[in-house]
Amino acid sequence: MKITINGITCETAAGQTVLQAARANGIYIPSLCYHDKTGVAGKCRVCVADVEEMRGLQATCNLPVKEGMKVNTRSEKALEAQRLVVDLLLSTGSHDCIACEKNGNCELQDAAYYLGIEHPGIQYADVKTGLDESSAFIRVDRGKCISCGRCVAGCNNVVVNEVLDLGWRGHETSIVFDTDSLMGESSCVQCGECVQLCPVGALIEKKAIGQGRSWELEKIRTTCPYCGVGCQLYLHMKGEQIVRVTGVEDGAPNKGRLCVKGRFGYDFIYSTDRLTSPLIKENGAFREATWDEALNLVAKKFKKIIAESGPDAIAGVSCARSINEDSYQMQKLFRAVIGTNNVDHCART
Ligand code: FES
């Protein structure tokens, strides 16, 4: 079906909302609490528009498209309402963009830019504060929280860890962990889904702080090197250094979700302790060896064990970080060549 948004004819499909149709047609409508993964929250009211033959402003994230619908997100009334919400959010938080990690990648900043809000019109003295640095990988800055609830919906409905909630009321409304514990003392498993969904700088990867501005980073898509699920992720690189890792939202199998290892466990690649050549133990101490020497030794010992005790005296455990083809060959070697079904995989953690 066809609708018009700001005078532009847009192709849409039944079941879409006006916000989804606008995004699909490259039209920006400021929005903060809606995310494709967490769905409609209808809380922030930034996405409002005038719709012909409908009374009052409509939240476009919650408005299904209808054939011939005429939407105006830039009417005086709609812009005034959008500005008021963004202005109030800026006024009641400590949105110090200059030093904020989200600068250049912040949905509140984008909305303020679009609406031409350079300074908050009102400045409340009692802006929210509260820095929680207690957890291993995530910094919580309540001064920047806009209470959109995306992190809460993600924690409860997407990854179903059920740790986050919105606590307190009114101006005091704030995300809480379990029954208002520090994040580091709560049952949070640090999967970072809340960080992935946060539209502002309230939830930030600690390791990324000060490591690079968003516009300096190159996003490289790859597959997580840990278990065999094959989660898709982006490495945000500054030169040769990983600054942060995010999940690929539109990619199967994880749709943006990652576990603590995939999102935060990348330091090992820079470790000087990594083995770069095989080691052979002699008289209780390891010494470096060539691959030929190491493989010959293993083959000799396998043959000896098989001759003495049969093939079932041997087991093969392959590495979860191996590619599929290598794991396939490993089990083929053990089943067809050595003659045992003792094969396993290290991703049983
Ligand atoms: Fe529509 Fe928040 S995005 S109400």
What is the reported pLDDT for 26?
96
146 CA distance to ligand 1 middle (Å): 12
| C-alpha torsion 182→187→189→193, nearest 10 | -70
Quick: pLDDT tens for 97-127. Answer: 998 999 999 999 999 999 999 888 887 767 7
45 CA distance to ligand 1 middle (Å): 5
User: Are 78 and 36 found together in one domain?
Assistant: yes
Mutation test of ligand 1: which of 20, 37, 44, 89 has the most ligand atoms closer than 8 Å to its C-beta?
A: 44
Quick: pLDDT tens for 54-90. Answer: 999 999 999 999 999 999 999 999 999 999 999 999 9
Domain assignment present for 338: yes
CB 160 within 8 A of CB 187: no
Atom of ligand 1 nearest to the CA of 62: 1
Domain assignment present for 11: yes
User: Are 254 and 285 found together in one domain?
Assistant: no
Atom of ligand 1 nearest to the CA of 47: 1
User: Lowest-confidence range among 37-41, 244-248, 285-289?
Assistant: 37-41
What is the reported pLDDT for 348?
63
252 CA distance to ligand 1 middle (Å): 26
What is the reported pLDDT for 324?
82
User: Are 227 and 174 found together in one domain?
Assistant: no
User: Are 214 and 203 found together in one domain?
Assistant: no
What is the distance between the alpha carbons of residues 325 and 302, in angstroms, rounded to a whole number?
23
CB 199 within 8 A of CB 106: yes
User: Are 133 and 177 found together in one domain?
Assistant: yes
155 CA distance to ligand 1 middle (Å): 19
Which residue bears the tokens 């009321």? 169
User: Are 40 and 81 found together in one domain?
Assistant: yes
Question: What are all long-range contacts of 337-343, with beta carbons under 8 Å and residues at least 24 apart?
Answer: 338/302, 338/306, 338/311, 338/314, 339/306, 339/311, 340/311, 340/312, 340/314, 340/315, 340/316, 342/312, 342/314, 342/315, 342/316, 343/315, 343/316, 343/317, 343/318
Domain assignment present for 219: yes
Least Cα distance to 85 among 38, 21, 42 occurs for 42
Query: Among the residues of 212-323, which ranges form H helices?
Result: 260-264, 291-309
User: Are 233 and 286 found together in one domain?
Assistant: no
Least Cα distance to 34 among 54, 49, 17 occurs for 17
Domain assignment present for 299: yes
For residue 322, the cross-strand partners are none
Going 70 to 77 to 197 to 207, the CA torsion angle's sign is positive
235 CA distance to ligand 1 middle (Å): 29
DSSP per-residue string spanning 137-200: SEEEEGGG-----HHHHIIIIIS----EEEES-GGG-EEEETTTB-GGGSS-----HHHHH-SS
CB 246 within 8 A of CB 196: yes
Q: In the predicted model, what is the mean pLDDT of residues 179-200?
A: 97
User: Are 9 and 80 found together in one domain?
Assistant: yes
Q: Which residues contact 6 (CB under 8 A, 6 or more apart)?
A: 27, 71, 72, 73, 74
Query: Among the residues of the chain, which ranges form H helices?
Result: 18-24, 76-91, 107-115, 150-153, 193-197, 260-264, 291-309, 324-332
Mutation test of ligand 1: which of 23, 28, 33 has the most ligand atoms closer than 8 Å to its C-beta?
A: 33
Which of 221, 239, 274 delimits the end of a domain? Answer: 274
Quick: pLDDT tens for 251-269. Answer: 899 999 999 999 999 998 9
Q: Is 225's pLDDT higher than 90?
A: no
CATH number at residue 252: 2.20.25.90
Atom of ligand 1 nearest to the CA of 43: 4
Mean pLDDT of the residues in the chain:
94
Domain assignment present for 100: no
What is the reported pLDDT for 92?
84
Domain assignment present for 318: yes
Mutation test of ligand 1: which of 17, 28, 29, 34 has the most ligand atoms closer than 8 Å to its C-beta?
A: 34
309 CA distance to ligand 1 middle (Å): 69
User: Are 257 and 308 found together in one domain?
Assistant: no
Confidence of residue 130 (pLDDT cuts 50, 70, 90): confident
Q: Is 229's pLDDT higher than 90?
A: no
What is the reported pLDDT for 272?
92
Atom of ligand 1 nearest to the CA of 34: 3
- Portion of the chain with pLDDT greater than 90, in percent: 83
What is the reported pLDDT for 349?
52
Quick: pLDDT tens for 157-170. Answer: 999 999 999 998 88
Atom of ligand 1 nearest to the CA of 48: 1
The reported pTM is 0.86
- How many CB atoms neighbour CB 345 within 10 A? 16
User: Are 44 and 54 found together in one domain?
Assistant: yes
Q: Using DSSP, state whether 306 is helix, strand or coil.
A: helix
Domain assignment present for 257: yes
User: Are 204 and 172 found together in one domain?
Assistant: yes
| C-alpha torsion 224→226→231→235, nearest 10 | -20
Which of 274, 297, 320 delimits the end of a domain? Answer: 274
Cα dist. 46→82, 159, 325 in Å?
A: 5, 26, 49
User: Are 11 and 72 found together in one domain?
Assistant: yes
What is the distance between the alpha carbons of residues 77 and 344, in angstroms, rounded to a whole number?
64
16 CA distance to ligand 1 middle (Å): 15
What is the distance between the alpha carbons of residues 36 and 79, in angstroms, rounded to a whole number?
24
Q: In the predicted model, what is the mean pLDDT of residues 140-145?
A: 94
| Containing structural domain, residue 20 | 2-91
64 CA distance to ligand 1 middle (Å): 14
What is the reported pLDDT for 125?
65
Ligand 1 shell residues, CB under 6 Å: 31-34, 41-47, 59, 61
What is the reported pLDDT for 152?
98
Domain assignment present for 107: no
58 CA distance to ligand 1 middle (Å): 10
CATH number at residue 165: 3.30.70.20
Mutation test of ligand 1: which of 18, 36, 46, 89 has the most ligand atoms closer than 8 Å to its C-beta?
A: 46
Angle, in degrees to the nearest 10, between helices 76-91 and 107-115: 130
What is the reported pLDDT for 307?
97
Tally of structural domains, the chain: 4
Which of 209, 235, 256 delimits the end of a domain? Answer: 209
